[in-house]
Structure 1
Amino acid sequence: MKHQWQIDELEAHFTLFPPELGLLGNEAPHNQLGKAVLLKYFQHEGCFPEKAKDVPEDIVAHIAQQLDFDAEILQNYNWKVGRIKQHRKEIREWLGFRPITVADQRVLRDWLQNDVIPHEYRPAHLEQLVRRRLKQLHIEPPSAKRLQERIINSSLHRYAQQLFKTTLEQLPDATRDNLNQLIALDVSLPEEGDEAEEDTGKYLLHELKSDSGDAKVKHVKRTSQRLKLLQNIRLPENLFADIPLPYLRFYQQQVAVSSISHLQRRMKMARQKAQHFTMLAAFCWVRQREVTDQLVDLCIQIINDIRLRAKKRVERELLADFIRVNGKQQLLYRLAEAMLENPDGIIREVLYPLVGEEKLEALVEEFKTTGTYRQIVQTRVNASYTHHYRQILPPILEVLGFRSNNEQYQPLIDSLKLVAAYLEENMTFYPPDEEIPLEGVVPKQWQNWIYQQDRLGRRRIRRVRYELCVLQSLREKLRCKEIWVVGADRYRNPDEDVPADFSDNRDAYYEALNLPLGVDEFITAVKTIHKQALQELNDGLPDNPYVQISTRQDGWIHLSPLKAQEEPTNLRRLKYHIRQQWWMTSLLDMLKEVDFQVGFTDSFHSLTGQERIPRLELQKRLLLCLFGLGTNTGLTSVSMGNHGVDLNKLQYVRRRFIAKASLRQAISQVVDATLAIKQPQIWGEHATWCASDSKQFAAWNQNLMTQWHKRYHKAGVMIYWHVAKQSLCIYSQLKAPSSSEVAYMIEGVLRHCTDMQVDRNYVDTHGQSEVAFAFSHLLGFQLMPRFKDLYKQKLFLADKEDREKYPHLQAILQKAIDWELIAQQYDEMVQYATALRLGTAEAEAILRRFTRKNQQHPTYKALAELGRALKTIFLCRYLAHEEVRREVQTGLNVVENWNSANSFILYGRQGELSSNDVNAQEITMLSMHLLQACLVYVNTLMVQEVLAEPTWHDRMTEADWRGLTPLFYNHVNPYGIFELDMATRIPLAGMATAVAT
C-alpha cells in the first residue's frame, strides 16, 4: 500500500458508513479504532495488515477523526494476540470472506501456471495479481511468506519445469549438437572475441555475447557473421512463439553471466539436461533478435553517416571556393559596366585588364562545380558507397529478411530482391530487358541521375547508383517500420506491437485508460475544452500585459519573461548548520544507512538462481560495488579500502548480482521510502507532477549509443531524467542523442514503478510534439512543455465557422481540426495507447510509426490532429495564466538542479562512461541514480531533524520554504578516507642503496 494519500482518495476509500460503525460495537476506544483500521484496510487490499507499520499514518488519522479518537491510541492495540483474532473473524464473516484452503492453493497454482505465467513472471507483480484474484473470490490470502513460497514460487517452478520438458521435446538432435558446440573449445575464433574473465579458451558463446561496435563496415561484417552463426543453430521457428521476450531474457541472462565451466558441468548432468538445452536455446533466441536489431541499427547509421560526411566535405569545398574567389559581386559589376561601355570591344582588351585572366579562370572553375547542391552531395555519396561502403550490402541481404504489410511498399521489397539477384554479377548496368522498380524506390529527383549511357550510347540504369537509392529508401522505411525485418525485436512486424486480444477485450482496455467507448463522447469533451480555452485567451488578451500577438512574419507571439521571485535568506545558513552537525558525511555511509533503513539490497539476487554468499557479506559487497559503479571510480579503486573485500569478490558480485532490473527496483524502493518519510508541514503536500529532461555524458564511442550532439558539440550519450518535486528522481533512461525524447518521456511516466502518481509532465521543446500531446492525453496525463520557439506557435480552430469569434487571435489562427479523421481512427489510437501502457513493445519502437517520415499513415494523421487540438488548449492556458507558466518553469528548474549534482556523484574518470558495452553504461547510470536518491533520502532526514527545532522552524520565510530542497552536498565527502603511514615504504629494488647513501 502506498504511504501518501490525497484527501479525496481517503474520503473515497476509507470513509466509515453507518453499518460499519455498528460492527465496531462498544469496545474500548483503541480496540474500536484497531477494528475500524482492520476493516477499511481489508476492504481496500483484500487482506489484513500484519503489523501497525503496514497502515499509512494518513489512513489511521482519517479513520480516527471519524470516530472522534486520537490516532495515537492505536499504539495500545495488540497486533499479535488478544482481540485481533476475534476482530479478524468478525470482519471476514461480515464481508463474506473465508480463509484460504489447500484446495484453493492448488487452484491458484494451476491458474498462475496456465493463464498468467509467463506473460507476467515477476514475483512482486504475481503477488498483486493473486491478491486481486483472491479478493474477487472472497478468499482471505495467506501470510505474505506462505503466499510467496507455497503459491508463487511453486507456480514459477512448475511452469519452468514444464517449459524445460516441452522445449527439449521440440529440439531436434542436430540443434542440440549445435547448442553444445557453443560451449565447446573452438580454435577458429578470432582473438578479439569477448571472453569471460574465468575462461581463457575460445568459445562460440563468447562471440555471441559480443556487442556490435560502432557504425563501421568491419562491424557490419562481424555482426552479420554473428547473426549467421545464430541462424545456423536451426532453432525451430515456433519454439518460443507464445512466450514473451522479457521472460526468455531471464534465462538469457543466466547463460550470459555463467562461466563456461559451469555450463559444461550442467551439460554432463542428466537430470539437468532439459534445463541445459532450454537455457541455451533461450539465450540464442533472444540474442538472435538483439543481433538482428543491432545489424539494422548499423545499416541505418552507416547510410546516414555516408550522407553526413558527404555534406560536410562538399560544404568545405564550396566554402574554400567562395573564399578563394572573393569580391564576386563587385567583380560582376565591373564586368557589366565595361561591357555596356564597350559593346563592340574585344574581350581580351576590354575585360582582362579589369579582373585578370587568373581570376576569371577561378570563377569558371567555381561555377563548373556548382550544379545543384543536392546533386553534388549525391555524387559524393555515390563515390563513398562505390569505393568502400558497398561492402555492407552482401552481408545485409544474406542474413536479413525484409517484409512489408503495405502493398504501397512492395516495389521496395522487389527492388531488394533484384539487387540481391545481381550481387555476384560483374556488370555495370542492369540488363535492358530487366524489369526494374522505380516508383516508390527511387525518389523523383534521382530518377534521371541513376541513368548513364553505355558504350553503345544506350540510356541504362547503373547498378551502383540504383543500389544506393534502394538503401536510402530502405533506411527511411525501416525507421518508420513500414518495412520490417524477420526475426527482429525492435524492427519486427508492427502488428505484433499491439495487444493481440484488443478486439476481444476492447471494453476492458478502454476502461483501463479511462476513455469512453463512444468516439462522440470523447470528441465532444475535447472540443468543448478547446473552444473554452480559445475564448478565454481571446477575451483576456486586451488586459494581459505580458502577452502580445502581432502580424509580424505571419503571426508573432510576444511573451514577457517571468518576474524574479524573492530570494531565500536562510537556506545557506541551514546548509551550513547541517554541515557543522554532520561534518563531511561519507557518501558510502549514506548509501549504507539508507540500505539499513530501506533494505534495497534485498532486491539484488543471483542471476544464475544460486546464492551461496551469506546475506550480510553479500550486502557489504553489493554496497561497495554500487558505490564504485555509481561514482565511476570503478571496482579496482574501491577494493583498495580496509573493508576486507578484494577485487575478485567485487567483480563476482558485479557480474552475478547487479542487473538493470534489480537496480530499478532498488531505486523505486528508495523513492517510495523518501515519499514516506517526508513531513508535509516541511515539504508540503506530495505533488503529482514530474519534469523530464536529458543531460549529456561523455562516453567511449565504439558503440551505437554514443553519438555526436550538435547542440553540445561533442560526442556522448544522454541520460533522460524524470524528476518530481524537491529533486526526487523517479526514473532514468540511457538514450542516444539522435533518438526522440518523446518516447523516453512517455516510457518514464508509465514505467517508474513508484508510489507516485503522475498527472502532469513538464518538458522542454525537444520533449514534445503533436503526437506526444495526443498520446499523453490518451494515457491520462497532461503534457506541459516550455517552448523555445513560442513566438512562432499557432493555434488551431475547433470549427472553421468560429474564426470570427476570436478577433484578437486572428494573426496566429490556423485551419480547423479534422474531427472526422479523429473519429475514424479513434479505435486505432486507443489500441496503440494500450500497447504503450502494457509495454507490449518499447515506446520508441511503437512511436517509430508516427514520425514526419510517415505522414501518410492514417493513424499518424489522426494523432497529429488530436495533438494540435490539445496543444492549442495548452498554449491558450499557458499564455492566459502566469501561474501556469511559472509552474512549468519551476518544474524544469527542478531537473536542472538534479543535473547539477550529477558531476558531484559521478566524479570518477572525469564523468566519462568508460565502456563500449551499452549494458554496462546503463548500469553505471542507474547506480549513479541510486546513489543520488540515497543522498536525497538522508538529506531529507537531516533537514527534518534541524527544522524540528522551533528556532529554525520559525526562522524560515515563505521564500525559504519555496526554495527548500534535499539535494545539496556541501556536507558530503564522496571520496573516502585518505591514509598516510610515514613508517612504511614502497618495496623497490633500489630503495636499500638509496638509503645507504
Structure 2
Amino acid sequence: MNKTKGCLIANFATVPSRMPEERRLAILTAFVKAQEISALDEAVDVLDMLILNITREAKKTGQKKRLRTLKDLDRAALLLARACALLLDEDTADDLLRKTIFSSVSVARLAESVEKVNELARPQDTNFQDEMVEQYGRVRRFLPALLRDLHFRAAPDGEHTLAAIHYLAELNGSKKRILDDAPEHIISGPWKRLVYDADGRIQRAGYSLCLLERLQDALRRRDIWLENSDRWGDPRQKLLQGEEWQAQRVPVCRALGHPTNGSKASEQLAAQLDETWKTVASRFDRNTAVDICNEGKHPSLTISSLDKLDEPPALIQLSSRVRQLLPPVDLTELLLEIDARTGFTREFSHVSESGARAQDLHISLCAVMLAEACNIGHEPLIKHNIPALTRHRLSWVKQNYIRAETLVSANARLVDFQSSLALAGYWGAGR
C-alpha cells in the first residue's frame, strides 16, 4: 500500500466512530469490499505492466541480436545471391549448371551460407517470441502464485485461454518440462516452433510464455475477466439487469432507435445485412475500384485510393475565420472558466457528508476530472508549489469527492445551464 493511500485510510479511520452502530458496520463492510476491489485491480495492473515489460525487453534484446548478426546475414545472403544469379543465367547449359556454380562458389561455402541464413533469418510473422521464451526463468517466479491466487473467468471467446490457465494451475509445484495433454488451441502460428520440440512434444517454457501473451490480450479484450474487479471485471455485469432494465427499456430503445422486442431487432438487422451483401455483390463486377487479391495465405480485399477533393474557397475562408474566433486557451483554463460560469464543482460533496470545503477545492476537482477524462493520471498535473495541486490533495479529492452521485449532480447542473443559453434554444434539442 503506497504512502498516500495509507494517509487517506488513516484519515478515514476516525469517521465511522462518530456514526450509529448499524451505519458504521455498513460503512466498514463497504470499505473492506472497496479495498478488495482496488487491491485486485492494482494487482492486475501490475501483471499487465509486467507482461508489457517482458515483451519490451524481448524486443530490445532481439533488435540488439539482429544488429550484431546483420553483417553475417548480409554476407551469406550475397553469396547465395551470386549462386542464384548463375542459376538464372540462360547462357549456361543445364548439364553444366552445378559445375559452373561450384566453380564460382565452393560447396562448403554454399552450405555454410545456407546454414547461416536459416540460423539468422527470422520468419515473417515472428514478434521476438524467441527472446520472450528466454525470460522464462523470470516468469516462473511469479506465474504459480498468479494462477493460484487470481480466479479468472471467461467469456465465450476466452474459453480456450481459461482452459490453458486451469491446466497450468494444476501443475503448480510440478517440475515437468514436457507437458502432456495441454490445451493446444492457444498455440498460434509464430509460437508453434517454440512450443513444440523436434518430437512434437509441448515444452513448458514456450507454452507458459505463449499463455502469458494470450492472457494479456484476452484481459484487454475482456474475453478473460476477474470477479470482484472494477477495471478488469466482466463489462456485461455493468449492463442494466432485471427490473431496472425493464424500467429503462422503452426510453433506452427509443433513444437508440431500436424496437423493444429483441427478436424483432435481430430480424431487422439480419435483413439489413442480407440486403447490403446482395447489393454489394451485384455491383462488385462493375466496380473497378475494388479487387480481390489472392496472393498470400488468405484472399484480401484491395480498394483503390479515392481521388483527392479540393476544398472550396468558401470552406477554407470559413475555417480560417472560425480559427481566428477561437481564443488560445488551455484545456485546464477552459474547464476552470466553465466552472466559474456554472459552479458545477459545488455539486461535489465529501463522502462523510461534511459541509466543510478545502481552500481552492474547485481547482483540485477540475484537475482530478481532467486527469480521469484524458487518462493521463495525476502526475502531469501535480504542482508541489500550489497547495491545490499537490499529490496528496489530488489523491484525497479523488478518494472523497469523485463518486457516481456527485458526477450525476454536476452533470445535471451543466445541462441545466446549457439549456438556458440563447444559442442552445436556437439550435433546439438536436432531434
The TM-score bracket by the shorter chain reads: 0.5 to 0.7
Give the AA of the match of 2:149: V
Structure with max Cα Rg: 1
- Residue 611 of structure 1: CA displacement? 1.8
1:686 aligns with 2:430: no
Change (3 A) 1:411 1:520: closer
* Aligned residues of 1:438 and 1:447 also touching (Cα < 8 A): no
Name the Cα RMSD after superposition.
5.6
Pairing partner for 2:62 from 314, 339, 343: 314
Change (3 A) 1:525 1:308: same
Q: How does 1:472-511 map to 2 (within 5 A)?
A: 472-492=213-233, 496-501=237-242, 505=246, 508=250, 510=253
- Residue 383 of structure 1: CA displacement? 0.9
Match of 1:558 in 2: 306
Q: How does 1:801-820 map to 2 (within 5 A)?
A: none
1:621 aligns with 2:360: yes
**Secondary structure at the counterpart of residue 290 of structure 1:** helix
Pairing partner for 2:137 from 383, 387, 409: 387
Q: How does 1:780-795 map to 2 (within 5 A)?
A: none
In the aligned structure 1, how far is the partner of 2:231 from the partner of 2:366? 33
Match of 1:420 in 2: 169
Match of 2:299 in 1: none
Q: How does 1:657-806 map to 2 (within 5 A)?
A: 658-659=401-402, 662=406, 666=410, 669-670=413-414, 673-674=417-418, 676-679=420-423, 685-686=426-427, 757=430
Match of 2:377 in 1: none
Structure 2: tracts of 5 or more residues without a match: 294-301, 372-379
In the aligned structure 1, how far is the partner of 2:111 from the partner of 2:268? 69
Match of 2:24 in 1: 276
Change (3 A) 1:299 1:652: closer
In the aligned structure 2, how far is the partner of 1:265 from the partner of 1:472? 44
Change (3 A) 1:557 1:597: closer
1:600 aligns with 2:344: yes
**Secondary structure at the counterpart of residue 351 of structure 2:** coil
Give the AA of the match of 1:420: A
Higher helix share: 2
* Aligned residues of 1:415 and 1:436 also touching (Cα < 8 A): no
1:194 aligns with 2:2: yes
- Residue 304 of structure 1: CA displacement? 5.1
Change (3 A) 1:194 1:296: closer
Corresponding residue pairs, total: 397
Give the AA of the match of 2:2: D
In the aligned structure 2, how far is the partner of 1:320 from the partner of 1:502? 65
- Residue 388 of structure 1: CA displacement? 1.4
Q: How does 1:574-973 map to 2 (within 5 A)?
A: 597-613=341-357, 621-625=360-364, 634=382, 636-638=384-386, 654=397, 658-659=401-402, 662=406, 666=410, 669-670=413-414, 673-674=417-418, 676-679=420-423, 685-686=426-427, 757=430
Give the AA of the match of 2:344: F
* Aligned residues of 1:608 and 1:656 also touching (Cα < 8 A): no
**Secondary structure at the counterpart of residue 403 of structure 1:** strand
* Aligned residues of 2:41 and 2:231 also touching (Cα < 8 A): yes
TM-score, structure 2 as length reference: 0.65
- Residue 605 of structure 1: CA displacement? 1.5
**Secondary structure at the counterpart of residue 360 of structure 2:** helix
Match of 1:902 in 2: none
Change (3 A) 1:526 1:303: same
Change (3 A) 1:527 1:321: closer
- Report the identity percentage: 17
Change (3 A) 1:277 1:362: farther
In the aligned structure 2, how far is the partner of 1:322 from the partner of 1:658? 57
1:450 aligns with 2:200: no
In the aligned structure 1, how far is the partner of 2:336 from the partner of 2:290? 59
In the aligned structure 1, how far is the partner of 2:421 from the partner of 2:147? 58
- Residue 663 of structure 1: CA displacement? 6.4
- Residue 393 of structure 1: CA displacement? 0.5
In the aligned structure 1, how far is the partner of 2:239 from the partner of 2:381? 42
Give the AA of the match of 2:258: L
1:351 aligns with 2:105: yes
- Residue 416 of structure 1: CA displacement? 3.0
Pairing partner for 1:396 from 146, 153, 160: 146
TM-score, structure 1 as length reference: 0.32
In the aligned structure 2, how far is the partner of 1:569 from the partner of 1:504? 46
Change (3 A) 1:594 1:315: closer
- Residue 610 of structure 1: CA displacement? 1.0
**Secondary structure at the counterpart of residue 242 of structure 2:** coil
**Secondary structure at the counterpart of residue 20 of structure 2:** helix
Structure 1: tracts of 5 or more residues without a match: 1-192, 197-204, 207-255, 640-644, 688-755, 760-997
**Secondary structure at the counterpart of residue 142 of structure 2:** helix
Give the AA of the match of 1:403: R
- Residue 438 of structure 1: CA displacement? 2.8
**Secondary structure at the counterpart of residue 391 of structure 1:** coil
Change (3 A) 1:502 1:510: farther
* Aligned residues of 2:367 and 2:394 also touching (Cα < 8 A): no
Match of 1:522 in 2: 268
* Aligned residues of 2:336 and 2:366 also touching (Cα < 8 A): no
In the aligned structure 2, how far is the partner of 1:322 from the partner of 1:490? 43
In the aligned structure 1, how far is the partner of 2:268 from the partner of 2:415? 35
Change (3 A) 1:653 1:373: closer
Pairing partner for 2:207 from 458, 463, 466: 466
Match of 2:178 in 1: 429
Give the AA of the match of 1:603: E
